[in-house]
Amino acid sequence: MVDAHFDQTADLWLIENGRRIGLVDHVKRAFKYRFYPTDAQAAELSRTFGCVRKVYNLALAARAQAWVLRQERVNYNATSAMLTEWKKTEELAYLNEVSSVPLQQALRHLQTAFTHFFAQRARYPRLKSRKKSRKSAEYTTSAFRFQGGKLTLAKMTEPLAIVWSRPLPEGVAPSTVTVSQDAAGRWFVSVLCEDPGVKPLPATDAAVGVDAGLDHLLTLSTGEKITNPRHERGDRGRLARAQRELARKAKGEGVNRAKARRRVARVHARIADRRRDALHKITTRLVRDNQTIVIEDLSVRNLLKNGRLARAIPDAAWSEFRSMLEYKARWYGREVIVVDRWFPSSKLCSNCGTLQNTMPLSVRTWTCGSCGVTHDRDVNAARNILAAGLAVSACGAGVRPQRSTPGGQSATKQETPRRKP
């Protein structure tokens, strides 16, 4: 595992197994803005999205066919040569109408997907669907012009009407621009550039354990409980009405069905935006206030098999919380420790270490039979997570604290009710 650490010179060092392996001057950061294209710009971008999807699918099919028929691996250079030949054909001549840079970037993304697949970090790449896949196109420096706070893409004569909700870092030129359109019909541009403003925070001795839940989104080892906003539940009525209206529309490519689909997508986008905003505020505060943050390695995919929690768990967004926490910790020189998912944090007394045989989910407070201390279930779990994480940090990477019950069964944490057989 590679962690990011900072020294007093404010340089970011990548450290692996206690050894410095590289120096990074600045952090690359994406700044996302909404923009409002003209009709001509929207048509040009829509054509580009379609061509990007077509090239990606053609290259994926060609690579799969080469492997099945000839046991041959096709790399990016080969697919780039194929793209040149495809443009010469009458059937695919329309690929010449859009900028070639997003098409080349699609081939690079496919190469990256295969690299992750062969390294067993991801599944086999899938074909992009016209209806379900994300609409996006990536432009490198040769395909856009950024001058005077105005961004103009290749094949366009006018700059994009971007709402600059926050300024870009001064004196830094963008290296990549990604244009996308979400299911709600909103247009976004993501500008990637180095951000010299991301610097290490002053070191502190504070450490906190975090227990994720549903009644409370997070419970800290300090005793603080962060309320679960339940954004999906708050908009469930509005979402149900929009979905009923969509179900009444005739299936096909009708205009009214497309409008109803966008109304459903706007409700989903409202929920996702509010959830993401809340998580950003929480993770930023945790990273600023603590040097070490200890969390649990929750298996969200397995928890989703419980039908009664299939809505509540995605709404809590534990995976997104962990992702935000980890990259912000790398930015600001903090440490995130992940404790094994089988560690019995709820059933272990944080005062004397006695392990309880059972701990039903309905039990929210309990008293230890050995030391007589009364525990709040979630606060006790957060304190045990903190202690286990600090033990992992002291013993070295790969140490996973586990205990067994007196009967020899695995002491698993029971945070979700089990289905009746």
Whether 170 shows a pLDDT value over 80: the answer reads: yes
Whether 109 shows a pLDDT value over 60: the answer reads: yes
The pLDDT of residue 357 is 85
pLDDT confidence of 396, banded at 50, 70, 90? Answer: low
CA distances from 54 to 92, 102, 108, 270, 372 (A): 9, 12, 14, 30, 67
How deeply is 269 buried, as exposed, middle or buried, from its count of CB atoms within 10 A (0-12, 13-18, 19+)? Answer: middle
Q: Among 44, 138, 232, 296, which one carries the catalytic annotation?
A: 296
Mean pLDDT across 48-61: 97
Mean pLDDT across 258-265: 94
Highest-pLDDT range among 4-8, 159-163, 376-380: 159-163
pLDDT confidence of 25, banded at 50, 70, 90? Answer: low
pLDDT digits (tens, 9 = 90+) for 138-167: 999 999 999 988 999 999 999 999 999 999
Cα separation of 190 and 34, whole Å?
A: 9
The pLDDT of residue 22 is 41
211 is a catalytic site residue: yes
Residues 295 and 324 sit within 8 Å (Cβ to Cβ) = no
The pLDDT of residue 9 is 31
97 is a catalytic site residue: no
* Rg of the chain over all Cα atoms, to the nearest angstrom: 25
pLDDT confidence of 80, banded at 50, 70, 90? Answer: very high
CA distances from 164 to 2, 64, 156, 187 (A): 34, 42, 20, 13
The pLDDT of residue 313 is 85
Residues 28 and 193 sit within 8 Å (Cβ to Cβ) = yes
The pLDDT of residue 175 is 93
Q: Among 232, 315, 326, 378, which one carries the catalytic annotation?
A: 378
Helices (H), strands (E): how many in the chain?
10, 17
Highest-pLDDT range among 70-74, 130-134, 239-243, 355-359: 239-243
Mean pLDDT across 254-260: 91
Share of the chain above pLDDT 70, in %: 88
The pLDDT of residue 164 is 94
- Taking phi over 0 as left and psi of -120 to 50 as alpha, with beta for the rest, 159 belongs to beta
Whether 105 shows a pLDDT value over 60: the answer reads: yes
Mean pLDDT across 121-149: 93
Mean pLDDT across 198-205: 90
pLDDT confidence of 350, banded at 50, 70, 90? Answer: confident
335 vs 15, more confident: 335
Q: Among 138, 194, 211, 315, which one carries the catalytic annotation?
A: 211
Of 83, 71, 192, nearest in space to 138 by CA: 192
Whether 263 shows a pLDDT value over 70: the answer reads: yes
115 vs 301, more confident: 115
Tokens (6 digits) for 313: 């768990």
The pLDDT of residue 301 is 76
pLDDT confidence of 2, banded at 50, 70, 90? Answer: very low
The pLDDT of residue 53 is 97
296 is a catalytic site residue: yes
Provide CB contacts within 8 A for 326, sequence distance 6+.
Answer: 336
Whether 289 shows a pLDDT value over 70: the answer reads: yes
The pLDDT of residue 409 is 37
